[in-house]
Amino acid sequence: MAPDWLTKSTGTQRMVPVARLTAIVAVAYFISGWLGLQFPYYGSYVTLVWVPTAIALVAVVLAGAVALPGAFLGSFAINVGIEPGLPGGAALLALSNTLAPGLSGLALVHRYEFRPQLDRLRDAFAFLAVGVVVTGLLTATLGALLLCLFDRAPWADYPIIWLTWFGGEAVGSLIAAPLLLTWLSDPDPVLKKRAGTAEKYAMMGVIAIFCVSLLAVGERFVSLPYGFGLLFVWIIFRTGLREALLALAVGALVIVVATALGVGPFAVQASRDAMLSLWLMLAAAGSGCVIAGAVVAERDRALQSHRRLLGELDHRVKNALATVVALAERGRDGAHDIDEYRNRFIARVRAIARTHEGLARSHWEPMQVREVVAMTLAPFAGAGAEHLQTRGDGVALASSNVAPLTMVLHELATNAAKHGAWSRDGGKVEVAWAYGGDRTLRLDWRERGGPELSATPTPGYGLRLIEGIVDHQLGGEAVMTFEEGGLLCTLRFPTGRS
């Protein structure tokens, strides 16, 4: 999503944010292009590093196709400034410079479900392949072709123009686009690093010393720029990808300007060799930084998920053990002998076990009420469809509410088998549920064909357990009605957070 300051609107002024977005993109495109052309490599059109394409790509990713007019206007202004007498050629060049980042940005968002935070490996590789390589190939091919068609360069120079154009586009996208994408999008709070202020100042000091060393002794130590990669490891692990990309941009700016002015580690090489060495170094640093940042982000996210799962497991195990202890302590109520107590206790523990098996199969995700009912009542549904009838909406139940509902259904089924509808031939149970709005579930347990009731019976331990579970664990209410044909139990409780 685009940042609020870029596209925020109020009321009916929908054209205002579009105009503001167009102006911001056009001005940023023009200024970055003008600065880049202060260090041209071939003629007036081709430079060592071209950042405007990265700006157009980022604008399309964050704001959509509505950002393309701004990129076109910025490119057109640059080209008209170079060749005032060729407005048609300037417009065609602007169109080609806008088309490539526009198509690539839309493909990233809609085809690859791209996250601008670049905190997943799939996003890193999609950006490198589409945002850098494909965009560079399109702009270099179209741009070099138009220069030759308008006699601004001989056809014999097409290969060197294409190579220079592609290299400048690719390196500019590698350095500038990730920096803008990550700083203009909200980071995942899970990935927040804990580097202190003193450590960050130390990083800035080391980067400053490194840049000064490049300019001062770079011609004698031509391999010095590659040592910059060691700093990225420190910065990425301690502060994250955003700060590492900022450090990369600072170092790249120093090296590019130094190379264009004929100083620094690449100045001792021939012009074309210096250009290729510069591109290879920046390409390795940029792609390595993006990929390493994604790997570290996925690692941090996996560790956070691991810690959360351990905490949830600890919580669930304690709850399960507390439930077993409560069943052991209170299960003797109403039991006539030790065998009856034992059978009750084992049946209830097995119900809990079936619940956890079902949750494990669903990876502790929300479960459909239909699945919970079928899983719990499967041991009691052996007499055919007439024995048990179920119907209801497709309602999802939070995983934290599955175990309590399972215990309630198990107690109702046990009571029906011993004292209710299932204790008589022809008796049946109907279970119906519906979503009542406000994330509330209503579930009706209705027994038919059970023993005749001469008076309202006194609820035993099982029914009291149901009321306690629904009240304290599900946060709802259970209403027991003893009708002529059997028990009607109505449950109302929140479905929980899914």
Same domain, 251 and 373: no
Query: Within a domain: residue 325?
Result: no
Same domain, 288 and 338: no
Q: Please give the Cα distance from 433 to 179 (Å, whole number).
A: 52
34-67 pLDDT, tens digit each: 888 876 655 555 677 889 999 999 999 999 889 9
Contact, 259 vs 49, CB < 8 A?
no
Provide the pLDDT confidence category of residue 329 given band limits of 50, 70 and 90.
low
Instruction: Name the domain count of the chain.
Output: 2
Provide the pLDDT confidence category of residue 454 given band limits of 50, 70 and 90.
low
Single out the residue in 294, 323, 346 at which a domain terminates: 294
Q: Is the whole model's pTM more than 0.75, yes or no?
A: no
Query: For 32-77, what is the HEC assignment?
Result: HHHHHCCCEEECCCEECCCCHHHHHHHHHHHHCHHHHHHHHHHHHH
Query: Within a domain: residue 485?
Result: yes
On the question of pLDDT at 489 being above 90, the answer is yes
Same domain, 264 and 342: no
pLDDT score, position 9: 39
pLDDT score, position 12: 36
Contact, 67 vs 57, CB < 8 A?
no
Cα–Cα distance list, 42 to 45, 46, 426 (Å): 7, 5, 93
Q: Please give the Cα distance from 374 to 376 (Å, whole number).
A: 6
State which of 220-224, 259-263, 484-488 shows the largest mean pLDDT: 484-488
Contact, 108 vs 127, CB < 8 A?
yes
**Once rounded to an integer, what is the mean pLDDT over residues 324-342?**
67
Residue 368 CB partners (closer than 8 Å, separation 6+): 394, 395, 396, 397
**Once rounded to an integer, what is the mean pLDDT over residues 107-132?**
92
**Once rounded to an integer, what is the mean pLDDT over residues 70-96?**
84
Provide the pLDDT confidence category of residue 456 given band limits of 50, 70 and 90.
low
Q: Are strands 486-494 and 440-448 parallel, antiparallel or unpaired?
A: antiparallel
Same domain, 288 and 344: no
CA-based nearest residue to 161, from 270, 286, 50: 50
pLDDT score, position 5: 41
- Hey, which residues does 478 pair with through a beta bridge? 491
Task: Determine the structural domain holding residue 267 and report its residue range.
Answer: 4-294
Helix (H, G, I), strand (E, B) or coil at 269: coil
Q: Please give the Cα distance from 299 to 154 (Å, whole number).
A: 51
Same domain, 81 and 147: yes
pLDDT score, position 291: 93
Same domain, 339 and 227: no
pLDDT score, position 16: 47
Counting every residue written for the chain, the total comes to 498
Amino acid, res. 345 = F
127 vs 484: which has the higher pLDDT: 127
Mean pLDDT of the chain: 81
**Once rounded to an integer, what is the mean pLDDT over residues 15-33?**
85
pLDDT score, position 1: 47
**Once rounded to an integer, what is the mean pLDDT over residues 108-129?**
92
- 225: tokens are 């720029």
Query: Within a domain: residue 250?
Result: yes
Contact, 393 vs 434, CB < 8 A?
yes
